[in-house]
A and B are shown apart, each in its own frame.
Chain A
Amino acid sequence: MDKRLSGVTRFELNGAAVEIAPRVGERLSEALRERLGARDVKVGCNAGDCGACTVLVDGAPVCACLMPAQQAEGAQVETLAGLYSAEPLARDLAARFEAQGAAQCGICTPGMMVSAVALLREEPAPDEAQVRDALGGVLCRCTGYRKIIDAVTGAPGRAVDDAEGHSGAAIAKLDGAAKVSGRESFGDDVAPEGALHMRIVRSPHARAGFVFGDLEGYAAATGLTVLTAADVPGRNVFGVIPGFEDQPVFAEAETRFRGEAVAAVVGEAEALARFDSADFPVTWEARAAVSSVEEAMAAGAPQLHSDRAGNVMCGGFVAKGDVEAALAEADVVVEGAFETAFVEHAYIEPEAGFAEVVEGRVHVHACTQAPVMDRDALEGILGLPGEAIRIVPTATGGGFGSKLDISVQPYLALAAIKTGRPVRLTYERTESMQSTTKRHPGKMKVRIGADATGRVTAMQFDGLFNTGAYASWGPTVANRVPVHASGPYVVPNYRAEAKGIHTHNPPAGAFRGFGVPQAAVAQESLYDALADRLGLDRLEFRIRNALDNNVETVCGQVFAQGVGIKACLEALRPAWEAERAVARDVRTGVKRGVGVAAGWYGCGNTSLPNPSTIRAGITAAGRVVLHQGASDIGQGSNTVIPQIFARALGVPVSVLSLVGGDTDLTPDAGKTSASRQTFVSGNAARLCGEALRRLVLTRANAGEGAEISVTEGALVIREGGREQRLELAALEADGMGYVLRAEESYDPPTKPLDENGQGAPYAQFGYAAHLCVLEVDEALGRVRPLKFVAAHDVGHAVNPLLIEGQVEGGIAQGLGMALMEEYLPGRTENLHDYLIPTVGDVPPIETLIIEAPDAHGPYGAKGLGEHVLIPTAPAILNAIRDAVGVQMTRLPVTPARLWAAMKEARDG
């Protein structure tokens, strides 16, 4: 018999001999992370679907989550951190990842880089096809893969080597080095050794009554600590929109969606590894549930919330002119009904963190998009004042809206308080998908009319949005959709209504675009139909109707400047003309199509305050510290906010030390949402930099144009040949340790909307237009995108490299929404049934940056993050229609659905 029966497994980890005694059934990923401290091995799915945990075993890339730890006996195991420290090839690759901006959030980066190292050892100069094959097993949700491909093939680096690094420079991410070396710490990477573990007991039914058995007996028998609603000292409810707090931490009496929490257990790691919720003493009684908006609105349907009649959460409304009359008078009217699916955010980092009680206060370390909102939510739940709660954001491995809501935080805090020990919790992939928010499915009916000259005269939009069991950000969707459903066009007569409808589904909340991408699918598809009916070129029709400066939006808002949609559409003209000139028939059974679509998106909260505050200080030693609280979830606020600040202060970005969104250390920069950080926090950073500069220049009695240099212990101020040293040690430090300090806030100017949605909902909009070229395989219904050209008006490009990264990543998400993504509770709760694009699915993307400066934006900058996927799905649908003449009205356009639609069009 083999000696490994002794229970000891020996192997080499990154060149060093190691010895472990794993459990039977323990995954190599767990052993590496928890027994050997190799936290650079990331776990995204525990099913081989995401590849984040890729390590080399005897040189071959494998998913460490699928390998019994004992199987490593005698093998050489290599991880990113080891490769980075020992292998020049990996070090070079890391430099190329940074220079391309190939790591955004960084959670997939170890898997990507380890896989790439295996390829590069065999093939030092791989072509794109080889790279795709090598990386096909690693999912990335941020980048759209193109920059990763470029990094591995060795394409010329895109980052500039700019000593100042000010706003406008395409510098590499300031936090990139940690991400490409395996040093970055995400939610599951920070718990102290010996922390207790935690699991959540969740409803197996969409709607169920439940009764607990003998919880005390269970706890005594298992040694586990049990938490239920009875353990919530404050209010067992949370929510993100005032007046819509409706979601319990633990359900009471009845659950409203499959995956809703009813209890939690806390215990030692080994005990929790053996925990099976099927053994937990709870009895379920499945009850009739409603899953669609039609079911929920039917007479006699079960009501999810007693104060929301007919399961209507709330609605949003915008009206202008007389839409009925205008439609009646229009020369051409088109109409259509469109339907989109639940879309899962599918960030590769499941929600994770740990909490502990420190000197009577509870500290929660977790991935998040909104640390101060997390603290506010915990105040109510824990019944503690805000001062007693500290939120320490970890690096966040993707968010896209869902990590605006709390997930692990209340469970961790309650468990840490109850046990008095540090407690950690990481969601399994399936529970992350079951229990966190989704993109709202939309059911939309739209009519649009135009006159014979090709001017749009009227549009009517009615949308029902399936908001799931709880409000979350549903009210935001209901409000944003009517404001945006016109698209970036002049529509003199307009009526748009959107309603959020409760169903027994996971809460639909914030997801990149807040309902606007769904609305754009309907409106932009019908714009093609309208152009065709009018006999007009589809792009020129859009240009003719595009908004402009000094023209009213559907909300009656007029911008005197900064309306860049026409420039975006015109930028597509050369590609549009060239691609339209290519024959449609590619080869037998394959048709080629070209589509365009546009979008707009208001940056910041809709007609509501959303201030950001940025603080900076200079220490006696000459450290310039920027308290940057805008959560960087991969989009780059850790880079662009410092770039803006550095330009305002007049120092190189490289001298800045960053302090993140720790609520004890950094003022509130608001949530990473609504494409607001570059705009709103960027403005706060600009104001803060300017204020600090004034402080310095005043001390030096120097004029506006003086140059500031930072040296050890002093600032050197040069002006017109005059040079003076400001000795910092001579100044008195404040309570924060700064001898000079500034703190500034910015809140975008908006005006409330009246009962017809008229007003000034946003201080600025960003604009976008996409062109998609694709092929349709007629026999199989397969759509193969070949190319995107994306024009984006960003006002001022704070960092062109990061802009490209946002555009490429947004297009990949839009492509997934259009062609493959559909979350079905109980059916697609993992990353092999729920499909997101792989490296083979995203074609080359050309980004055209348009800069129509905005009067409110920092140096003219506008937000971008959400704009990028709004035109993508309709551009794809329009290209499909162009290729095969079929108008798809339901997303995702799976091969089977497109095949059926083509068949129906043929057979009549």
Chain B
Amino acid sequence: MEYLAPHDLGEALDLLARGGVTPVAGGTDFYPALPPGGARESLLDLTRIDGLRGVSRADQGWRIGAATRWSDILHADLPPAFDGLKSAARQVGSVQIQNAGTVGGNIVNASPAADGVPALLALGAEVELASRHGRRRVPLGDFITGVRAVDLAEGEMLLAVHVPAPPEGAVSAFEKLGSREYLVISIAMVAVVLRVVDGVVDHAAVAVGACSPVARRLAVLEREMVGQAPGAVSINARHLDGLAPIDDVRGSGVYRMSAVADLIERAIKGACHG
């Protein structure tokens, strides 16, 4: 067993292709899930790979490296459409977790309650995957395929998240519901990105987390919001179609459905009024 911490992406991909390595970055999901007896195979530390950390402007939008810390997101200079993502970043675990946990790890770990995913979905994010055989881009909503399941082939790793440039003037918000103030796994989450022109919505993206195996956009609601005044948006059951919240120790499914409707309205209000 080795601890491998390459600086070069090509080396990292070679090591991944060779197999028998577990990738690790911020460690915030890796260690809590570590089985008794510790690591069983070599670890591939992704945090030293050149270019994997940081937020940068790209041609068509923004690029967030997979090893970008949540605290990097908080400190990045980003337009208001990213306020929801920043709000989510601020609510990932604690300062300690935000300083270590990465955007890529949050996505690949594929928890239904991943705090970062709804905000990225609402931003229309795509993920960029790399292997020794090449690169591909997949919409984030397609990449996460189920509870703890992602569309990642053998030897493939998440390289970056790409966010298309949001409409000029778009605003956003994120609402997280938990049973305590900090360090809490979400009962439900909502992220919205919207633009209001002349008092009516002309762009709407609404994503909900912790209410289905994979966080999801609410397409019907988004369509119907366009053309409405944001204050006039009222959530009905049809809008929540596709959500299937479970009953668990954090709350019942019925409760989640009710809470989500309220959280959406709060998020819309929050986005419009800061």
Contacts and interface: CB of A to CB of B under 8 A. Distances in A.
A134 interface: yes
A221 to B, nearest CB: 15
B97 interface: yes
A71 B177 contact: no
A5 B100 contact: no
Given A23-B38, A824-B249, A5 B183 contact: no
A630 B137 CA distance: 65
Interface in A851-908: 894-896, 899-900, 903
Contact of B48 (A2, A7, A60): A2
Interface stretch (A356-364, A397-405, A578-586, A833-841): A833-841
A310 to B, nearest CB: 30
Contacts of A840: 180-182
A835 B179 contact: yes
A160 B258 CA distance: 52
Contact of B31 (A46, A115, A832): A46
Interface in A828-849: 828, 830, 832-833, 835, 837-841
B42 A24 contact: yes
A817 to B, nearest CB: 13
B233 interface: no
Given A2-B5, A820-B179, A62 B45 contact: no
B182 A839 contact: yes
A781 B249 contact: no
A71 B45 contact: yes
A15 B45 CA distance: 25
A782 B175 CA distance: 14
Contacts of B263: 780
A70 B43 CA distance: 10
Interface string B35-62: 1111100110101100000000000000
Contacts of B3: 4-5, 7, 22, 24, 68, 70
Nearest to B265: A779
Contacts of A61: 95-96, 99
Contacts of B250: 894, 896
Interface residue range, chain A: 35 or more
Contacts of A67: 27, 100
B262 A68 contact: no
A49 B28 CA distance: 10
Interface string B90-117: 1001111101100000000000000000
Given A66-B31, A115-B95, A132-B181, A899 B26 contact: no
A115 B182 CA distance: 15
Interface stretch (A79-87, A275-283, A552-560): A275-283
B255 A273 contact: no
B71 A832 contact: no
Interface in A45-102: 46-49, 51, 54, 57, 60-63, 65-68, 70-71, 73
A598 B30 CA distance: 46
B7 A899 contact: no
A895 B26 CA distance: 31
A267 B30 CA distance: 26
A63 B258 contact: no
Contact of B97 (A48, A274, A782): A48
Contacts of A51: 94, 96
Contacts of B26: 66
B245 to A, nearest CB: 11
Contact of B27 (A23, A66, A822, A899): A66
Contact of A63 (B6, B96, B249, B252): B96
Interface of A is mostly: loop
Given A47-B32, A276-B35, A828-B249, A133 B100 contact: no
B4 interface: yes
Given A278-B36, A838-B181, A899-B258, A827 B96 contact: no
Contacts of B1: 24-25
Contacts of B220: none
A364 to B, nearest CB: 25
A137 interface: yes
B96 A275 contact: no
Contacts of B31: 27, 46-48, 65-66
Contacts of B183: 49, 136-137, 139, 832, 838
B259 interface: yes
A819 interface: yes
B48 A780 contact: no
Contact of A274 (B38, B187, B262): B38
Contacts of A22: 3
Contact of B251 (A26, A137, A139, A894): A894
A1 interface: yes
A488 B11 CA distance: 72
B43 A24 contact: yes
A162 B86 CA distance: 49
B185 interface: yes
Interface in B102-136: none
Nearest to B40: A25
A896 B252 contact: yes
B5 A136 contact: no
Contacts of B7: 2
A274 B34 CA distance: 12
Contacts of A137: 93-97, 182-183
B76 interface: no
Contacts of A133: 90, 95
B180 A25 contact: no
A638 B181 CA distance: 33
Given A63-B97, A134-B95, A827-B249, A2 B4 contact: yes
Contacts of A5: 2-4
Contacts of A832: 32, 183, 185
Nearest to B91: A136
Contacts of B30: 66
Contacts of B197: none
Contacts of B42: 24
Contact of B32 (A48, A57, A838, A896): A48
Contacts of B93: 48, 137
A52 to B, nearest CB: 11
B184 interface: yes
Contacts of A828: 249
Most buried by B among A132, A782, A830: A782
Contacts of B150: none
A1 B6 contact: yes
A752 to B, nearest CB: 44
A291 B218 CA distance: 41
B181 A25 contact: no
B24 interface: yes
Contacts of B4: 1-2, 5
A140 to B, nearest CB: 12
Interface in A260-274: 273-274
Interface of A: 1-2, 4-5, 7, 22-27, 46-49, 51, 54, 57, 60-63, 65-68, 70-71, 73, 115, 118, 132-134, 136-139, 273-279, 779-782, 819-820, 822, 824, 827-828, 830, 832-833, 835, 837-841, 894-896, 899-900, 903
Top 4 A-B residue pairs of the complex, sorted by shortest distance between their CB atoms: A137-B94, A840-B181, A25-B39, A136-B182
21 contacts: A1-B6, A1-B11, A7-B3, A23-B39, A49-B183, A62-B100, A63-B96, A66-B28, A66-B96, A67-B100, A115-B96, A132-B182, A136-B95, A137-B183, A779-B258, A780-B262, A832-B32, A832-B185, A838-B184, A899-B255, A899-B259
Given A838-B183, A839-B182, A840-B181, 9 more contacts: A24-B3, A27-B31, A48-B31, A60-B99, A63-B100, A66-B27, A830-B32, A835-B179, A895-B251
